[in-house]
Structure 1
Amino acid sequence: MSENTENPQDGKIIQINIEEQMKTAYIDYSMSVIVGRALPDVRDGLKPVHRRVLFGMNELGNNSNKPYKKSARIVGEVMGKFHPHGDSSIYDTIVRMAQPWSLRYMLVDGQGNFGSVDGDMPAAMRYTEIRLQKMAEAMLEDIDKETVDFSLNFDDTLEEPTVLPTRIPNLLINGASGIAVGMATNIMPHNLTEVVDGLIAYIDNRDITIEELIKHVKAPDFPTGGIIYGYEGVKQGFETGRGRVVVRGKINVETSKAGRERLVIYELPYQINKAALHQKIAQLADDKIIEGISEARDESDRDGMRLVIDLKREAIANVVINQLYKYSELQTSYGINNVALVKGRPRVLNLKEMLSEFVEFRHEVVVRRTRFELRKAEEKAHILQGYLIALDHLDEVIALIRSSRTPEEAKDGLMSRFELSEIQSKAILELRLQRLTGMERDKIKEEYEEVMKLIAYLKDVLSDEGLRFKIIKDELEDVKKRFGDERKTEIQYLASEMRMEDIIAEEDVVITISHLGYIKRTSAYDYRQQKRGGRGALGGKTREEDYIEHLFVASTHHTMLFFTEKGRCYWLKVYEIPEGEKSGKGRAIQNLINLPTDDKIRAIIDIKDLSDKDFISSHYIVLCTANGIIKKTLLEDFSRPRQNGVNAITVNEGDQLLEAKLTNGNSEIMMAIKSGRAIRFPENTVRDTGRGAIGVRGIEVDNDKDEVVGMICVNKEDATRTVLVVSEKGFGKRTDIEEYRITNRGGKGVKTINITEKTGSLIAILDVTEKDDLMITCKSGITIRMAVADIREAGRATQGVRLIRLDDTDEIAAVARLDEQEEEKLDVEGMEGEGSEQLRDDSSEDPGTAAAEASEDETPAE
C-alpha cells in the first residue's frame, strides 16, 4: 500500500510506502527508547534520567557538605533544563537513589519519608529534601576537566554530559533493570570491594579468565542481604551475561520462655515487599497449605526487620522453613540479563567485558584529564614565565608602563620590548603591586619550578601507559578504602555444585548434645585441662531439667552418624552443626535432621570419609541396647546418607539403643551394666547382619532392675589400653583389661566396680590410655577435664577414687574420652590468663588428706 502526501510548500504529492514508513518510524522509536530511556551506559552504569538528576544536583551545588535542598527544586531544575518529561518520573528516580533497600550503594542522601520496604509511598516532593552522597560526588569528579563529551540539551540552550567521568564501577555495584522495545536488561548489584579487586586483577592481567575473576567478584550482593541459593546460575551469568540467581530470606530459629519454637525472618530477598510477604504467610497458614504455623506477626522496628512466625508445638522448624521457601516469596529467582549500551549500541556483556569496558573508559578519562591539566599547567607556566621576565627587568617594565598613555599601548610596548606574548603582557599589567615584594618574587619562582615539575610528570603520564594504569589502580584502591564494605548476601552452594569441604576451613571442634536434644559446636580451644578433684568449668547453660549428655571432638570436614534410641541412623556434616558459645545452649537437633519428637540421639560415630570404599568395606558398626542385645553391621550399609535417616537396628518393645561403635572386625567387646558387672568376648562371635536385623544377646540383664550402661570395643593388639569405669557420684578407676577373663557372649559377666551408696550406680565404661584426657559432664552443666594418668589403676572389685566433687543433688551425666590427638587440640597453655573463664577449683587441699581419702576409697570390697 502507499499513501499520497501533499507538501504544503510546493503543492507536490510524494508517494510513501506505509509499510516502510511504519517500519522506519518504529525502529526510530525503539532506538530512542533503548538509547534515551531504558538501558544504562556500560561506562557509568546510568540511564539518562539518573545522569541528569546527578548532574543537575551538582550544577546547583547540592553537595554532601552543603545543606539539603527540597526535592521539588531539584525536580524542577532537571525537568526545566535537561529532562523534558513528567515530574513523577524524575522524582521516582530520586526516591529510588535514596532508598537503602533499592540501591546497594545509595547516590542520593535523602531527608524525610522516602517510603519503606513494606511498599509505602514516599512523601510528596515538596516535603522531602535531598543532597548528593559522597559516592555520587566521586562519580562527578573531574567533570569540569574536559574528561567527557557534552551535548546540547533538548532546546539547545545548555550542555549536558553524555556520560559521567565516574571513578565508581556503578553498572556492576548498583546494577540496573529496564524494559526497552524488543529488549530488556536486568543487571544484579555487586559488592564494591569485590568489583574493585576484580578490576585490579584485570588491569594486572588482561588475559585473565572469567573463572579467575570469579575468585574476586564472587556473586551478586543485594542491599537487603539474604542468601544466594545455588551457584550454577550465577556462574553462567558471569560467563555469558545471562543466568539465573535464586535468593532466599534469612531465618533464625528461636525458643520462647515457654519452650515453643518460632521462626524470625530478618532479611528478605531483593525487591520483596515485607507487608505482602507477611500477608501471604498468614494466608498459607489459614489455607492449611503450611500446617505448622500458629501465628505470624511483624515486630520490625528501627533496629531492624523482624517478621516472627510462631510454630505449633508439634511442628518441626526445618519442615516449615522449607515450606515457606517453596510456597512464598521468601525464595525468589531473578533472571540475569546483562544488556548495556556500548558505544551507543545495546550488547549482552559477560563479567570480563563489563570490567574491561570500565577500565577502558577510566583510561580515556585519565588521558583526557591529564591533557587538560597539562594545558592548564602550561598556560600557568607561560604566565609565570612572563612574571619572571618582568621581575628580572622590573625598573624598565615600570618605566614603560608609566610612560604609556593607554593599557593597550603598555601591552604592545611590553610585547615588543621583552618579546612577551599577549597573554603574558596582560597578566603583567594585572599584577598587583604587593607581588613585587622580595618574598612574593621568591614565591613566584618556587611556583614556576613546581609547575614545571608538574608539566614534566603530566608528560610522563601521557607517554607511559603503565603509569596511567597505575593511576587507575591507585584511584580504585582509594575508592575501595572510602566506600568498600563487607558482603551482605551470603552464598550457599548446592551439594551437586561443589564440595562444601573446599570452602570450609578444616579445624577441630568440640560437639556437645544435651539430654533434651540441643546441639552445638564450639572451638576446641575454649576448653582447658584441670587437676583431678576440681570443681570444673561451666560447659553449657541448660534448663533445670536438661544437661550435657554427649561431648566429643571432631574435624569440621567429617561426617557424623547419629544413632537414636529407636534404632534409626541419621547423617550430618560437622560444619552443618551451628557454632555456639561454650556456655550457650545450642540448637534443637530436630532443626538439623528430621528427628521425630519422641526419639532422641543415643550414640554418635565420627567418620572421616564415607566415600572411601576400602575403609567402609572393612569396618563395622557394632550396636548394643539397654537390654543387652548386640548387633554388628558393615559400615558400607550406612554410607549412603538419606534425609529421613535409615533403620540401623530393630528395637524390641521396652528396649532402646544405647551405644554404637566403629570396629575393624577384630576387636574384643566389653559391655557393662548398672549394677557393676561387665562381660568381655571376641567380636567375631557376633556375625554381621543387615540393617533391619534385631541382633543377639550380649550380656544377661535383669530387665526389671538393671540395664546396660555402655560398651567398648578394644583391639587385641593394643596392650596400652585399660578399662575405666565411673559411677554416678563421681568415683572411678582404671583396671587392666586382662583382669576381665574372656567368656561366652550372653553370660552374666564379672564384677567391674564395687557399688555402694557412696558411689552410686555405674554410669560409664570407657577404654583409655595414660595419654588420654577425660571430659566429665554433670547434670548441672559443670564440665571438668582431667588427664587419665591422674587416675590410678585398681582391681576390678574396688570402688575407685573420687574424680569430681559433686553437690548432694548433682550426678555425672556423661563421660567422654579425648584421645592423644584430641588432647593436643584442646590443650592450650596460658589459657588461665586474660579472657578465660575462672574455674571453681577446690584441688588446693592438703595432699596428705587427698592421699588418705584415695587410699580409703580403694579398699577392696568384702
Structure 2
Amino acid sequence: MTQIERFQDLPLEEVIGDRFGRYSKYIIQDRALPDARDGLKPVQRRILYAMYHEGNTNEKAFRKSAKTVGNVIGNYHPHGDSSVYEAMVRLSQDWKIRHMLVEMHGNNGSMDGDSPAAMRYTEARLSAISGELLRDIDKRTVDFIPNFDDSDMEPTVLPARFPNLLVNGSTGISAGYATDIPPHALHEVLDAVLMRMDNPDATVDELMKVIKGPDFPTGGIIQGVDGIKKAYETGKGKIIVRSKADIEPLKGGKEQIVITEIPFEVNKATMIKKIDDQRFDRKLDGISEVRDESDRSGLRIVIELKKDVQAAGILNYLYKNTDLQVSYNFNMVAIYKRRPTMMTLQTLLDAYIAHQKEIVTKRSEFDLHKAKDRMHIVEGLMKALSILDKVIKTIRASKDKRDAKNNLIESFSFSEAQAEAIVSLQLYRLTNTDITELQKEEASLKKLIEELTGILTSATKLKNVIKKELAGVRKQFAEPRRSVIEEKIEEITITREVMIPSEEVVVTVTKEGYVKRTSTRSHAASNGRDFAMKESDHLLFEGNLNTQHTILIFTTKGNFVYQPINELPDIKWKDLGQHLSSIVQLESDESILAVYPFENFDADASILTVSQYGQVKRSALKDYQVQRYSRAIKTMNLKKDDSMIFAGLVTKETELFIGTNHAYGVRFPIEEIPLTGLRTAGVKGVNLKDKDFAVSAVLLDAEIKQDLILVTQRGAAKKMRITEFETGSRAKRGVVMLRELKSNPHRVISVHGVTGGEEIILETAKNIRLTLPAANLKPVDRYSNGSFVLDESSDGKVLDVYLKQVKE
C-alpha cells in the first residue's frame, strides 16, 4: 500500500508564532516560574515528591543522589540528568536557600562557584522542614495528574505546611517573564500569615511590623526600607545589599578590613579577585594584601591595608566598585491560578492562606470519611460481640467465607463491611475485654468526627487549626534573622585623598609625549641630572607633586587628558618614560601643548584656549574634574583643519595677547571671552588676513612686568615692551610687530611673555638647538625687525621655539 504524502501550505509567521506560543506557555507554567502556593518549580516539586515516594526522608539513612535523579527522570521529569541534579544540589546549598529542603553528604559546591561532586559520589535525603512541605500529601489534599507516560501519578502542588515561596524565595527566567523573590525569615513570614488571617485587610505598613524585609542565607546588611515597602506593595522594588565588614587595628599603625558576610548570590572567589585587581591595577594603592581566610567555622575575608591608609575610605570605594555591595531588584512573579502574576505581599499571603484552607479542608474530609468508616466497623463488632454465640453458630453453619458473610448480613442485618470485619476477626479477640476497647475507640471516634465536622462547617475552627499548625512549625523551625535591615540607603562619597596614599614624587612630561612619575629617592640619587629623553625631545613639564594630585595635559587636537598622578607609571629618573598614547588613545598627528598640575579643582579659575584660526574660549576649572578619563576629552570644538595652539590657566590674569604668523598682535581683556562649557568652539579672538594664522598667545597680569619676545623663521629675535600694544577689543586685526619686507619677509614662529629670568630655545630644520637668555635682548619698538641670532642659510629655518625657566 502506497503512503500518501500530506502537507499543509501555511505562512511561516503563523507556524512560528503558534509553536513559540506553545513553547512559551510551557516554560512559563511548567518550568521557570514557581507556584504561588508551594513556592516550587516543577523540577523541584518532582525531586521532593520522588524522594518522599521512595522513602528517602529525614528520619532514614542517606541515599545516593544518582538514584534519586534516576527516579525523577524515569518517573516524572524527562529531561537531562544535569538539570535535575543541579536543581537538587541548589536545594541543599545553605548559602543559596534559607531553609535547606535537601540534606546532602559530600561536596555540594561552594560560595566560590565550585561545581559539586558528580551525583554518583554524593548522598542525599529530605530535610526535616521538607517533611512539612509534603505532610498530608497521602490524604488526598492535593490534585494528582498522570506523569509524562501515564505510568504513574504526580502532584500538581505540594501541601506546603509553611509559606515556602517567601521563606526560600525564587529566581528564574522564562519567555517574557522573570522572577526574583528574595528569601525571608520563617518566623516573620508565619507571623505575617497569622496577622493576615486575623485581619484580611491588613496593610503593608501593618504587615511590615512583623515581616521586616528579606533575610538572606548569607546575611549581610540590607539598606532601603522604602524599596522593601514598594516591592511589597507593587511586586517591584530595589534594595541595597552590603557586606558585613569590620575594621580591625594592626601593629605599626596599620588597619585591616575583615568581611564576615557577603551579599546574596555573589561569587566569593570572583569578588575577592575583583578586589585584588583594584590593587594590582593601581586603582587602589592603599591595599597591601587580600586573603580568603574562610574555613568550616565561617566566612572571613581579610583586606590588609598599607600604613596610614584610612580603612573607612577604602571600604567605601570597595562598596561602590566591587560586589561587596550590590543592588537587589524585587520582581515577584509567580504562577497564580495557572497564570504568571506580579504578586504583592498581600496576594502572596492570601494565595498561601487559601491553599492552606483547601489543604486542611480536604485532609479533614479524608480523615472524617476514614473515621466514619471505622465507626461503622466498630459498631458492627460491638453488635457482634453482644450476640457472639449466634454469630459463631451462623459462621460454623456456613460453607465458606462468602457464605458466612451472606448469612451474617441476612440474619443480623450487618453491612458488607461489618460482615467482612467479623469473619476476619481472630479468635483471641473474642474475649470480654475487647468490648471495653471498642467502647473506648467508639468514644474517641465520636469525638474525632465531631471535631472534623466542626472544622468543615465552621470557618473559625478551620482558621484556628491552620494557625495552631503554623505556630507548631514556627516553634520547631524558626531561626534568628541573619540579615540586618537599615532604613536608609547610605550615600557613598569617595575622596581621592582617602584612596591614595600620600607620596611626594617628581612628575615629568616631554614635548614628544613621554610621561612618568619618579620617586624623590630616585631623583635625589641622580641629583636631578641625566634625565632620560630622546635627543630630539625636550622637557615640557617637571614638578614636585603628590600622588593625590592630578595633571591636565592639553593637546593640539583640542583635547585634554585627565591624569591622576598615582596612576602614572613609576619609572626611574634615568629611564625613558611611558608614552601618553599607551595610557590614552591619541591621533597620530596629535601633540602636547601644555601641562598643568592641580591639587583639586575648587579654585575660582578657568582654562583659556586659543586655536590657529584665532578662536578663543574659556571654561571653568571645575568642569575639568571628570569621573571617566580612559580617553582624551574634548576641550575645544575645532573646525576640520584647525588646531589648538595654546592652553593657559587663568587665575588673576586680566588680558590676553595673541600673535599671528604675519606679525600682527592683538591685546584685549579676558572678560570679553565668555565662560562656556567644555565642548564649545569659542568666539573669535583675532581677525586674520588671508593665509595668516595665530601662532602664540600670552596671558597678561597687570601686577607683573612682562615683555614679549618674538622669533621669526629667519632666525631673528626681538624683545618688546607690552606697552607697545594698546588694550583694544576682541576680534580685531591688531597692530604690526615687524616692519613688512617685500622679499623674503619675516614670518613669526612664536611670541613668548618673559619676566627676564627665562631662556628661549630655538630649534632649526638642521637639528641645531640654540639657547638665548631672555635678558640678553634689549627692548625695541614694534617696527624693528630685531636682530639675527641664527643664520637661516647655514643653520636652517627656525621650526620651533619654546621657553625654559632657569633654575636658581
**TM-score clears 0.5:** yes
User: Structure 1 pair 19/291, CA: closer, same or farther in 2 (3 Å)?
Assistant: same
Cα separation, 2, equivalents of 1:486 and 1:326:
29
Match of 2:207 among 204, 210, 213: 213
The question of 1:61 aligning with 2:55 is answered yes
User: Structure 1 pair 58/412, CA: closer, same or farther in 2 (3 Å)?
Assistant: same
User: Structure 1 pair 495/303, CA: closer, same or farther in 2 (3 Å)?
Assistant: closer
The question of 1:320 aligning with 2:314 is answered yes
Question: 1:455 aligns to what?
Answer: 449
The question of 1:469 aligning with 2:454 is answered no
The answer as to whether partners of 2:192 and 2:210 remain within 8 angstroms in 1 is yes
Cα separation, 1, equivalents of 2:162 and 2:44:
15
Q: What is the root-mean-square deviation in Å for CA atoms of aligned residues?
A: 1.4
The question of 1:288 aligning with 2:282 is answered yes
TM-score using structure 1 length: 0.56
TM-score using structure 2 length: 0.60
The answer as to whether partners of 1:435 and 1:441 remain within 8 angstroms in 2 is no
Which stretch shifts more, 315-324 or 286-295? 286-295
Cα separation, 2, equivalents of 1:257 and 1:133:
47
Quick one: which amino acid aligns to residue 191 of structure 1?
A
Question: 2:172 aligns to what?
Answer: 178
The answer as to whether partners of 2:291 and 2:301 remain within 8 angstroms in 1 is yes
SS of residue paired to 1:110: strand
Question: 1:383 aligns to what?
Answer: 377
SS of residue paired to 2:302: strand
Cα separation, 1, equivalents of 2:8 and 2:256:
76
Which has more radius of gyration?
A: 2
Cα separation, 2, equivalents of 1:230 and 1:403:
84
Question: 1:248 aligns to what?
Answer: 242
What do residues 771-815 of structure 1 show as CA deviations (whole Å, max 9, x unaligned)?
xxxxxxxxxxxxxxxxxxxxxxxxxxxxxxxxxxxxxxxxxxxxx
The answer as to whether partners of 2:254 and 2:308 remain within 8 angstroms in 1 is no
Cα separation, 1, equivalents of 2:6 and 2:262:
65
Quick one: which amino acid aligns to residue 336 of structure 1?
F
Match of 1:71 among 65, 72, 76: 65
Match of 1:129 among 110, 117, 123: 123
Deviation at 1:310, TM superposition (A): 0.9
Match of 2:428 among 434, 441, 460: 434
The answer as to whether partners of 2:73 and 2:79 remain within 8 angstroms in 1 is yes
Deviation at 1:295, TM superposition (A): 1.1
Cα separation, 2, equivalents of 1:448 and 1:228:
57
The question of 1:310 aligning with 2:304 is answered yes
Quick one: which amino acid aligns to residue 426 of structure 2?
R
Question: 2:233 aligns to what?
Answer: 239
The question of 1:345 aligning with 2:339 is answered yes
The equivalences for 1:87-126 within 5 A come to 87-126=81-120
SS of residue paired to 1:305: coil
Quick one: which amino acid aligns to residue 349 of structure 1?
M
SS of residue paired to 1:333: strand
Cα separation, 2, equivalents of 1:103 and 1:495:
25
What do residues 568-596 of structure 1 show as CA deviations (whole Å, max 9, x unaligned)?
xxxxxxxxxxxxxxxxxxxxxxxxxxxxx
Percentage of pairs with the same residue: 46
SS of residue paired to 1:114: coil
**Structure 2 gap segments, 5+ residues each:** 492-808
Question: 1:269 aligns to what?
Answer: 263
Cα separation, 2, equivalents of 1:447 and 1:432:
18
The answer as to whether partners of 2:204 and 2:229 remain within 8 angstroms in 1 is no
What do residues 107-158 of structure 1 show as CA deviations (whole Å, max 9, x unaligned)?
0011111111111111110110001100001100000000000000000000
Cα separation, 1, equivalents of 2:237 and 2:452:
44
Question: 1:138 aligns to what?
Answer: 132
Deviation at 1:26, TM superposition (A): 1.0
What do residues 448-500 of structure 1 show as CA deviations (whole Å, max 9, x unaligned)?
12111111111111110000000111111111101111110011222799xxx
The answer as to whether partners of 2:253 and 2:308 remain within 8 angstroms in 1 is no
Match of 1:190 among 184, 190, 193: 184
What do residues 335-356 of structure 1 show as CA deviations (whole Å, max 9, x unaligned)?
1100000111100000011001
The equivalences for 1:415-814 within 5 A come to 415-494=409-488
Cα separation, 2, equivalents of 1:22 and 1:114:
40
Cα separation, 2, equivalents of 1:192 and 1:311:
39
Cα separation, 1, equivalents of 2:339 and 2:370:
35
The answer as to whether partners of 1:434 and 1:440 remain within 8 angstroms in 2 is no
Deviation at 1:230, TM superposition (A): 2.1
What do residues 535-587 of structure 1 show as CA deviations (whole Å, max 9, x unaligned)?
xxxxxxxxxxxxxxxxxxxxxxxxxxxxxxxxxxxxxxxxxxxxxxxxxxxxx
Quick one: which amino acid aligns to residue 293 of structure 1?
I
Match of 1:413 among 407, 420, 425: 407
Cα separation, 2, equivalents of 1:429 and 1:463:
37
The answer as to whether partners of 2:223 and 2:489 remain within 8 angstroms in 1 is no
Match of 2:366 among 362, 372, 386: 372
Quick one: which amino acid aligns to residue 75 of structure 1?
V
Match of 2:12 among 6, 14, 18: 18
Quick one: which amino acid aligns to residue 474 of structure 1?
K
Cα separation, 1, equivalents of 2:489 and 2:162:
36
Match of 1:399 among 381, 393, 402: 393
Cα separation, 1, equivalents of 2:16 and 2:224:
46
Deviation at 1:206, TM superposition (A): 0.4
Quick one: which amino acid aligns to residue 38 of structure 1?
A
Cα separation, 2, equivalents of 1:19 and 1:251:
55
Cα separation, 2, equivalents of 1:185 and 1:147:
28
Match of 2:141 among 136, 147, 165: 147
SS of residue paired to 1:206: coil
The answer as to whether partners of 1:228 and 1:247 remain within 8 angstroms in 2 is yes
SS of residue paired to 2:258: strand
Quick one: which amino acid aligns to residue 269 of structure 2?
A
Deviation at 1:275, TM superposition (A): 1.1
Question: 1:167 aligns to what?
Answer: 161
Give the length in aligned residue pairs.
490
SS of residue paired to 1:36: helix
Deviation at 1:231, TM superposition (A): 2.1
Question: 1:553 aligns to what?
Answer: none
Cα separation, 1, equivalents of 2:168 and 2:398:
64
Quick one: which amino acid aligns to residue 408 of structure 2?
L
User: Structure 1 pair 305/394, CA: closer, same or farther in 2 (3 Å)?
Assistant: same
Cα separation, 2, equivalents of 1:470 and 1:418:
43
Cα separation, 2, equivalents of 1:210 and 1:229:
18
Deviation at 1:16, TM superposition (A): 3.0
SS of residue paired to 1:144: helix
SS of residue paired to 2:335: strand
Quick one: which amino acid aligns to residue 229 of structure 1?
Q
Cα separation, 2, equivalents of 1:146 and 1:355:
23
Cα separation, 1, equivalents of 2:302 and 2:421:
73
Structure 1 segments of 4 or more deviating over 4 A? 8-15
Cα separation, 2, equivalents of 1:10 and 1:427:
63
Cα separation, 2, equivalents of 1:157 and 1:301:
47
**Structure 1 gap segments, 5+ residues each:** 1-7, 498-862
Question: 2:670 aligns to what?
Answer: none
Deviation at 1:420, TM superposition (A): 1.1
Cα separation, 2, equivalents of 1:457 and 1:273:
52
SS of residue paired to 1:16: coil
Cα separation, 2, equivalents of 1:139 and 1:92:
20
